[in-house]
Amino acid sequence: MNYLRRIDLNHLVTLQALLAEKHISRAAIRLNKSQPAVSHSLAYLRKVFDDPLLVRKSRSLELTPKAEELVQPLEEALSQLTTLFEPPKFEPAQADRTFRIAMSDYGSSVILPRLLPQLRSLAPKLKLVVTQGSRESMIASIIDGECDLAFGVFHEINTEIQSKTLFEESFISLADQKTMPDSGEMDMSEWLSRPHLLVSLREGSNNEIEYALNKMGHKREIFMVLPHWGIAGDLIEGTDLILTVAAKALNTIKNSENLVVFKPPFNIDSFNFDAIWHKRKNLDPAHIWLRNIIETTTID
């Protein structure tokens, strides 16, 4: 930090021009400055770096070994400073970048079918790597920088993380038509008497349905815990099992005339489905573009 206090950053711009042109007059033209001003700046830089930087050989100037060492780091430093004040524009059609995204197969069914056509049309060189994990592991991957974006239900998140609600979701139940009452509805007693299929990455009561039941002092019988949605409908059909899921999960469940969709006989709080990312990505133009595309293409 003491070194930064000693130097005017404008002199570094002059130094970059001098190292590139190896000529005071041409550097002055490049910078739109007078030749005396560039010469004065060179004298100042020689004192700061304790090195002549440019030395005369025959009729031309050449870089000293110290100056040669400065070329690349100076270019990188000034480029980063330029980005700080003038963030680079993102050109989707030319973007060749890989984004790592974490979501469940529920999230995939809600987001990807409408997102991918947009990406193929607007940013055909962009690539996606989709991973799956628990809520805790997704949050950890965002903090560690292993993922760019994660999607799901996050009740508590780190202060380093930003979030955006994409939509509000509610719950429905499914059962085989042959096992349903003639009314097509099911009361609390009947619902609790039946075995249930839980779609979750792990066994436990860390879900909205169990929260609602616990508030009422009830507990359901979980016959099976399944880590993915795709086969859930097939397992319900022809059995006495009940499946209670987020409504949009029906996108992933096989549509069958033998399955009945009905409202659970008790209140289950709706929940927000969120996108999360680390604050370090807030000013990344490509990241901002992708977040906007996802938000505008997500099903309402």
CATH architecture for segment(s) 171-269: 3-Layer(aba) Sandwich (3.40)
Q: Please state which CATH number belongs to domain 101-159+273-297.
A: 3.40.190.10
9-21 and 65-85 helices, crossing angle to 10°: 130
Q: What is the pTM of this model?
A: 0.66
pLDDT value for 202: 72
Report the candidate in 105, 275, 134 with the shortest Cα–Cα distance to residue 204: 134
Mean per-residue pLDDT pooled into runs of 10, the chain (300 residues):
62 88 86 88 89 86 90 80 69 90 90 94 94 89 90 86 93 93 89 93 76 94 88 90 90 78 93 92 88 85
**Residue 259: φ, ψ to 5°:** -105, 140
Residues of the chain with CATH 3.40.190.10: 101-159+273-297, 171-269
Q: Please identify, in words, the CATH class of the domain defined by 2-85.
A: mainly alpha
pLDDT value for 300: 58
Sequential DSSP letters for 80-131: HHHHHHSPPPP-GGG---EEEEE--HHHHHHHHHHHHHHHHHH-TT-EEEEE
Residues of the chain with CATH 1.10.10.10: 2-85
Report yes or no: 146 and 208 within 8 Å, Cβ to Cβ: no
Cβ neighbours of residue 233 closer than 8 Å, sequence gap 6 or more: 174, 243, 253, 254, 255, 256, 259
1 burial class (0-12, 13-18, 19+ CB within 10 angstroms)? exposed
Amino acid at 144: D
pLDDT value for 29: 84
